[in-house]
Amino acid sequence: MGLGASTWSAQEREAYANDLDEPRALIAVSARSNRSKADKDVTDWLPPAAGYRCTYLADWAAIKTRWGLTVDQAEADTLHRLTADCPNEPLTVMTAR
C-alpha cells in the first residue's frame, strides 16, 4: 500500500475526514463505541458485535486501499487471520479524490 497520512496536505486530510462519497467511511456509532475505538486499528480493536466483524474488516481494508494508506505487518497478519473466517465478504474499492 501507499504512504501514511502523515505526508498528506491539510486539504488531503480534510478530504479524508469528510469522505462523503464513500458510505463506509463515516458510520454513526454511539459515543461509547467511538471512544473505545479511538484511533486503534484492527490489531487492537474490533466491533463488539461479532456478526458485523467481517463487514467491518472488508470496509476497513477498502478505506485503507481507497486512500493509499499503509498497513503494517501486525495489521496485515491480523487481517489475514480474521478474514479467513469471512469467505463471502466482497471487497470493492472506489478511487478517492
Q: What is the pLDDT of residue 89?
A: 65
Mean pLDDT of 48-65: 87
In a domain, 93, yes or no: no
In a domain, 78, yes or no: yes
Mean pLDDT of 8-30: 76
Best CA proximity match to 52, nearest among 93, 86, 87, 76: 86
Q: What is the pLDDT of residue 59?
A: 86
In a domain, 96, yes or no: no
Q: What is the pLDDT of residue 37?
A: 65
In a domain, 89, yes or no: no
Q: Which domain holds residue 42?
A: 5-83
Q: What is the pLDDT of residue 94?
A: 64
Q: What is the pLDDT of residue 1?
A: 41
> Is the per-residue pLDDT at 97 higher than 60?
no
Q: Which residues contact 4 (CB under 8 A, 6 or more apart)?
A: 69, 70
Q: What is the pLDDT of residue 36?
A: 65
In a domain, 38, yes or no: yes
How many domains are there within the chain?
Answer: 1
